[in-house]
Copies of this chain bind each other. A is one copy, B any other.
């Protein structure tokens, strides 16, 4: 906690990084020094609904100012990085609950992909590729998104994402139990994950009872929850079915990089998301595509978009963010979390 007199005389910037699992909030000053840090639940309005998301964003924001010992009204600007914000241009769903909680500063929404990008670099040009539950890529020029690809959701895109891999795992196990494909080591892993006991060769209505139990359990999930099965493919590293699923994911994510690559943009490649955090074929394939393009100066993996949301909030406040400011954000944030 800082001295109160010092705090109220200088602008206080609040940056939030809203994710599908959790939301992060950091209060900083204009030099990039992080003052306090807090978390909330899912702040993604697309996957969790605007009511739940706004409540969690307020939770995280309020906890961050409380931890700094200041009042919400003393915050001078609020920036929130989140997915799908351009789809929903109205911001009433979040501005009203924030005002009701005492935050008086204007609220600016930014792309979560841009926040991920700036979590790995202060440079204004380069590439970002994220593969978590979903997948998407952006090309950044002059500090802004010039081109984006995929991020089209579980039904129409998100190639190589956690959902995509988990979905293929579920379908491969179903095909194996159904006798349409050979056995796979993924079956035992999936049964364990679902808490389903195999019923051996017991047949019901002309099919294995185990298959019925597995499909019943999987249909009880929301489709997007199949992403929790993605780690099974990495665990079954020697299984030919798992290898083939990951090889297809790797090819798709390399294709995603190639779709955003432009000969006139060189810079870092920032990778985000749980799938690209795993060592192996998938992450290597994206790095290989980046190397082959000759456009990427260095590759870096970031855990989330918090640093980048702070970078974006400083830039929105007119601060030029160079290497020094960026390093101050990274260092002082690391001390808080």
Residues of A within 8 A of B (CB): 86-87, 111, 138-139, 145-150, 152-153, 155-157, 159, 167, 170-171, 174-175, 178-180, 204-207, 211-212, 215, 218-219, 223, 226, 255-256, 259
Contact = CB atoms under 8 A, between A and B. Distances in A.
Given A149-B180, A180-B256, A156 B207 contact: no
A252 to B, nearest CB: 8
B86 A149 contact: no
A180 B259 contact: yes
Nearest to A141: B206
A215 B84 CA distance: 13
Nearest to A226: B155
B180 A156 contact: no
Given A139-B206, A155-B218, A156-B218, 17 more contacts: A86-B204, A86-B205, A138-B206, A147-B206, A148-B207, A149-B178, A149-B207, A150-B178, A152-B178, A152-B215, A155-B167, A156-B171, A156-B215, A157-B174, A179-B259, A180-B255, A180-B256
A152 B179 contact: no
A177 to B, nearest CB: 9
Contacts of A159: 175, 180
Nearest to A258: B180
A248 B138 CA distance: 31
Contacts of A170: 155-156
Contact of A157 (B149, B156, B175, B223): B175
Contacts of A179: 149, 259
Nearest to A145: B206
Contacts of A204: 86
24 contacts: A86-B205, A87-B212, A111-B205, A139-B206, A145-B205, A145-B206, A146-B206, A147-B206, A148-B206, A148-B207, A149-B178, A150-B178, A152-B215, A153-B219, A155-B167, A155-B170, A155-B226, A156-B218, A156-B219, A157-B171, A157-B174, A157-B215, A179-B259, A180-B256
Contacts of A145: 205-206
Given A179-B149, A180-B259, A207-B149, A156 B174 contact: yes
Contacts of A212: 87
Q: Which 3 A-B pairs have the closest CB atoms?
A: A148-B206, A156-B174, A179-B259
Contacts of A180: 149-150, 159, 255-256, 259
Nearest to A111: B205
A159 to B, nearest CB: 7
Contacts of A149: 178-180, 207
A243 B255 CA distance: 21
